[in-house]
Structure 1
């Protein structure tokens, strides 16, 4: 049985109550549960024990982060979670520091991670799909979704986790297409978390 740790990184605002992020997590939980995954969850906006969260990372084969895109990154509640949980796990449980040694202080920076699993990021964003990967779009200037999420990818890499393909639900406030988002999300979960894990 594969073990997946699902993190709800949503931060409540009156104009963004978190219903879509919650619904995507419920959908993922339902699909994975039917496919013999053991599941543990955390909501970063709520209360949690730092030591228990570290144990969830150690326990999991897959870490699944569901988050809105918030000011071109993750929410402040998830950033606080990183600062508290991953920092506490950095010296011994989740990583052995920054990977460098006294013998080679200029090499292997960032390669001290002790985790052996994979991670997947799933994002709800107000930006339309067309805003990315197009050098004619002035704001993002041709960068991809994963370019925008590079700090999060590097954080997971720091602890030794390997990436699965990122999921994006686009334009969720101005021009939502939620029914199609759920169809794409279900296909994404099956392809990335079930077929790849069992292949």
Structure 2
């Protein structure tokens, strides 16, 4: 019998901005995902990066899971600072020999194979992101800011981090225009469909 998937969920919301970004939307998505997973018999573990966490526990959570879900608002075109602090402190020295096994290079060929010794082969990850920016900012090449570049283009450096760990990328989920012109109910329904389709 197939073992039920193990899901490690990270909520990367940063509460420092107070009432401007209270975190209700990302917490709702976090809870929706957890409910969907538990209803299907999946096992879950959860971390909030802005709260206290233990380095060894977090490394072990990455080793334990089949799927990593990062739920996050987009602050100034990236993850909040507390998530960057989290990955710096978890993935660097504590993660060496576990999450990543080396750089992949050799002294004989120092320019080749950089980033090919990740330790999490077979595990998958997904970003679920909330934006003030409308979807058209990413899909219309005539739009000033992104010039037709996608959400995944914007988050390419973070995708590279998880590729360095040898994880496989699942399609990114994104909600847009969540402050000025929200469509929350439809987005929640779309989110449920997304996670049910890609996490099994």
TM-score, length-scaled by structure 1: 0.95
Deviation for aligned residue 1:103: 3.0
Match of 2:127 in 1: 121
Instruction: Report if the CA contact (8 A) 1:89-1:95 is conserved.
Output: no
From 78, 81, 89, the equivalent of 1:84 is 89
Q: Which residue of 2 aligns with 1:38?
A: 43
For 1:45 and 1:89, the matched residues in 2 are separated by 19
Task: Give SS of 2:60's match.
Answer: helix
Distance 1:74 1:97 in 2: 25
**Counterpart selection for 2:192 from 186, 189, 192:** 186
Supply the distance in 1 between the matched residues of 2:36 and 2:128 (Cα, whole angstroms): 15
TM-superposed CA distance for 1:91, in Å, is 2.1
Partner of 2:140: 134
Q: Aligned runs of 1:24-35 on 2, under 5 Å?
A: 24-35=29-40
Runs of 4+ with deviation above 3 angstroms: none
TM-score (norm 2): 0.94
Unaligned 5+ residue runs, structure 2?
none
Count of residues in Structure 1 that have an aligned counterpart in Structure 2: 194
Instruction: Kindly provide the CA deviation profile for residues 111-138 of structure 1, in whole angstroms up to 9, marking residues without a partner as x.
Output: 1101020000000110001110221001
* Alignment RMSD: 0.9
**Runs of 5+ unmatched residues, structure 1:** 195-199
